[in-house]
Amino acid sequence: MIFLILLNPLFTITKGAQIMNLDVVFKYNNDVVLNCSQFGQNITFFTIKKNEFILTPVSPDGTKYLFDSGALTIKSPKKIDIESEYFCNNTGGDHIFFNKSVVPHLYYVDSLILTSIEGKSIDLECYLLIGTPNKTLNWTWEFDNVKLEAEGRFSLTGNEQKSSALRISDLKIEDSGFYTCRVSNEYGSHERNITLRVKDQLAPLWPFLGTLGELVILIVIIGCYELTKKKNSNDPESTV
């Protein structure tokens, strides 16, 4: 990032200017403060959007960015905000560069419910939305708050930097319940919950069996009615 700044004549680093590096941790949808107050109040913040490498001055808009006493607050940062780079400088040419770390965050669905049939296999999957590149991630799975290990009917697959999947083979009715996928690094963690419903093997037949049962009952009722009608027609007293 420093190399890019030096290439831009508007953002040269003045000889004798101070250059600092500060650590900052980003967490998805949680306000983060970039503090440049060490260099006074006359501070300008810049951002470099991921894959664009375009230097853009940050302007306060009351919704995304707030300025206060040489500090920039990024409100509820999303993926594009977290993937961007930030630095600040003052009129004297002093610069602060921010070494960014990220609490991992998963693609999230409020209430994910999966349904399968007894005896089949199913994959429960989690995908990373954002995290610190090249940092070790730890993935864990729990079933009703009990940690699962890769053994027996349970196996774990995935790419450590991108995803994790829990495969359950030969599903049982008792596998129904709440599963938790959790990803963590040294800065924090994030989790998502998945509800699994396992139906018995006859489940696909229940609609058919229900319809068949109704048909049988209807036939029995009609048969009883016809028998009663025939009996009454053969009874001389019923015609008097």
pLDDT value at position 205?
A: 58
Question: If one looks up domain 105-199 in CATH, what number appears?
Answer: 2.60.40.10
105-199 and 2-102 share a CATH fold: yes
pLDDT value at position 41?
A: 67
Q: Does the pLDDT at position 173 exceed 90?
A: yes
> What residue type is 161 in one-letter code?
Q
DSSP state of 148: -
pLDDT value at position 16?
A: 67
* Distance in Å from the first CA to the final CA of the chain: 109
Give the chain's mean pLDDT.
Answer: 81
Give the tokens for residue 90.
């003052």
Q: With bands split at pLDDT 50, 70 and 90, how would you rate the model's confidence at 93?
A: confident
DSSP string, 72-116: EEE-S--HHHHHSEEEEEETT--EEEEEEEE--EE---TTEEEEE
pLDDT value at position 192?
A: 93
Q: Per-domain residue ranges for the chain?
A: 2-102, 105-199
> How much is the average pLDDT of 79-102?
88
Q: How far is CA 214 from CA 108, 200, 202, 221, 225, in A?
A: 43, 22, 18, 11, 16
> How much is the average pLDDT of 141-148?
94
Q: With bands split at pLDDT 50, 70 and 90, how would you rate the model's confidence at 63?
A: confident
Q: With bands split at pLDDT 50, 70 and 90, how would you rate the model's confidence at 231?
A: low
DSSP state of 41: S
Q: With bands split at pLDDT 50, 70 and 90, how would you rate the model's confidence at 193?
A: very high
> How much is the average pLDDT of 20-29?
94
CA angle (135 as vertex; 132, 141 as ends), nearest 5: 95
- Return d(Cα 146, Cα 163) in angstroms, integer: 21
> How much is the average pLDDT of 193-218?
75
pLDDT value at position 136?
A: 87
Q: Does the pLDDT at position 54 exceed 70?
A: no
Domain 2-102 coded CATH 2.60.40.10: yes
Q: Does the pLDDT at position 61 exceed 80?
A: no
Q: How far is CA 64 from CA 25, 29, 76, 85, in A?
A: 17, 11, 7, 16
Q: Does the pLDDT at position 1 exceed 50?
A: no
| Least confident range of 95-99, 101-105, 119-123 | 95-99
- Cβ contacts of 30 within 8 Å, gap of 6 or more: 76, 77
- Cβ contacts of 58 within 8 Å, gap of 6 or more: 45, 46, 47, 65, 72, 86
pLDDT value at position 88?
A: 87
| Least confident range of 148-162, 176-190, 207-221 | 207-221
pLDDT value at position 5?
A: 34
Burial of 233 per CB tally in 10 Å (0-12, 13-18, 19+):
exposed
> How much is the average pLDDT of 126-153?
91
For residue 194, the tally of other CB atoms under 10 A from its CB is 19
